[in-house]
Amino acid sequence: MKNIIQKCKEIYIKNKIIIVVLAAIITLVLPVLVPKSYFMGIMCRILMYATLAGSLNVINGYSGQMCIGQAGFFCIGAYCEAILATRFGINFWIIIPLAGLVTAIVGLGISLPTLKMKGIYLSIVTLGFSEIVRLTALNWESVTGGPMGIKGIPTPNLFGFEISNSKTYYFIFLAIAILFIFVTKRVVKSRIGRAWLAIREDQLAAKSLGVEVPKYKAFNFMYGAFWAGVVGAVYAPYVRFIDSTFFTLDEGFNILSMVIIGGQGTLVGPVCGSVIVNLLTEVLRPIGEWRMVAYAILIIVMMWWRPQGLVGASDSILAGDKGNGKKLEKSKQKGGGAHGVSVRS
């Protein structure tokens, strides 16, 4: 497995330009080649979840915080767009960054009080947060329409060109996904990304090197939340109708499983995860209710076989001692390293 990935990497590095150009041509021509709206719908889902999973990966994979409630951020973004567009008639293109910002601020609100919590407590808080958001959306009828949801979300316009079907929406999702990957790649390769990685690998050492751990953790959370909000804002007019049933815990687990299956800590991982899970969903559609069972088994198998995911960062603390061939005695003694390191001698 490792060899295959290694080879793929080598081929990519050698023919970088050709591959990128080829990929660009394929993605642009795809709607013309296969104009079926069923197929385009799947492509939209894949791209949407790739970005969502990517945004979760920024939180889970790069700074090592354990967020599970990404569906909550997604929900806030979607409701933000739905409410602003139906009530105030604000332009779609203005709402996108606005929804992202609102979600980022909520993310900050979640992150600030939870900075000192270790992995599992943080994940529980985010889980509870996601449920609270959903229940609020379900019960706050005057704003969110309660169980009736929000209907008739207007479709966006681009230069007088109405974007209404999945074929045109494909390009919006594509643009968002590419923008996300481009920006995130640059951020991760910079000083900020290094600080995140340092926090993931060893918080104590990061602190001793002057990395402002709380600040970067909070910023990381905001960054992840921002993109989830953006995707939510694009998603709302795509489905034209939203209610709280779109944003259950299962949705959160769904996003999480894409990150896990694809691999944490790399940019390609969530994209892979999204492709695999969404294609699997389509393939497994005939077996209906067994689909989620198949998912679950896939997640468990993944944890047993490759805890860092298919193309995850195998050289990281995320992989544990199974991922890296050599067992590092010290990390084993401490039961994983980053958590609960004692500093007393």
Partner 1 sequence: MGSLLEAKGICKYFGGLKAVEDVSMHINKGDVFGIIGPNGAGKTTFFNICSGIYTPTKGEILLNGDKISHLKSEQIAQRGMARTFQNIQLFKYMTVLENVKIGFHIHTKTKLWDSVLHTKTFKEDEEFTVQKGLEIIDKVGLSKYTDTMAGNLAYGIQRKVEIARALALDPQILLLDEPAAGMNPQETQELMEFIKILNADGYTIAVIEHDMKFVMNSCNRILVLNFGQKICEGTPDDVKSNQQVQEAYFGKGIIAGEAVK
Partner 2 sequence: MEYLFNQIINGLCQGSIYALMAVGYSVVVGVVGMVTFTHGEVIMIGAFAAFYIFQAFGNNLLLGLIASFSASWLIGMFVYKVCYERFFNAPRHISLICTIGVSMLIKNLAQIIFGPNQKPMLNVIENKFFALGTIQISLVQVIIIITVVVLAILLSLFINKTRWGISLRAVSQDKSASYLMGINVKRTAMIGNCVGCGFGGVAGMLLAIYYQTLSATMGSSLGMKAFSSSVLGGLTDIRCSALGGLCIGIIENLGITITSASFRDVFAFGFLILILIIKPEGFASKKGVRP
| Nearest distance in Å: CB 48, partner 1 | 22
Collapsing DSSP to helix, strand or coil, 295 comes out as helix
**Binding region for partner 2 (CB under 8 A) out of 17-25, 177-185, 247-255, 277-285:** 247-255
Closer to partner 1 by Cβ: residue 115 or 138: 115
Collapsing DSSP to helix, strand or coil, 160 comes out as coil
| Nearest distance in Å: CB 294, partner 2 | 9
Binding at 117: pick from partner 1, partner 2, none (beta carbon under 5-8 Å per type): partner 2
- Going from the C-alpha of 157 to that of each of 163, 175, 239, the distances in angstroms are 6, 15, 15
Residue 276 touching partner 2 (CB under 8 A): no
| Alpha-carbon torsion, ordered 212, 218, 219, 224, to 10 deg | 140
Closer to partner 1 by Cβ: residue 210 or 286: 210
| Nearest distance in Å: CB 220, partner 1 | 11
- For residues 107 and 120, give the distance between their C-alpha atoms in angstroms, rounded to a whole number: 17
Residue ranges in 186-225 that form contacts with partner 1 under rule CB under 8 A:
186-187, 189-195, 197-198, 201-202, 204-213
DSSP string, 22-84: HHHHHHHHHHHH---HHHHHHHHHHHHHHHHHHHHHIIIIIS------HHHHHHHHHHHHHHH
- For residues 7 and 132, give the distance between their C-alpha atoms in angstroms, rounded to a whole number: 45
| Nearest distance in Å: CB 289, partner 1 | 41
Residue with tokens 């034209």, as numbered in its chain: 240
Contact pick of 109, 131, 181, 207 for partner 2 (by CB under 8 A): 131
Q: How many CA atoms lie within 13 A of 299 on its CB side?
A: 13
Do 293 and 249 form a contact (C-beta atoms < 8 A)?
A: no
Residue 183 touching partner 1 (CB under 8 A): yes
Binding mask 259-298 for partner 1 (x = CB under 8 A): ----------------------------------------
74: closest CA among 109, 95, 48?
Answer: 48
DSSP string, 185-230: HHHHTSHHHHHHHHHHH-HHHHHHTT--HHHHHHHHHHHHHHHHHH
Collapsing DSSP to helix, strand or coil, 158 comes out as strand
Binding at 187: pick from partner 2, partner 1, none (beta carbon under 5-8 Å per type): partner 1
Binding at 339: pick from partner 2, partner 1, none (beta carbon under 5-8 Å per type): partner 2
Contact pick of 51, 57, 114, 266 for partner 2 (by CB under 8 A): 114
Residue 128 touching partner 2 (CB under 8 A): yes
Residue 300 touching partner 2 (CB under 8 A): yes
Closer to partner 1 by Cβ: residue 19 or 328: 328
Catalog residues that contact partner 1 under the rule CB under 8 A. 183, 186-187, 189-195, 197-198, 201-202, 204-213, 313, 315-317, 324, 326, 328, 330-331, 337, 341, 343-345
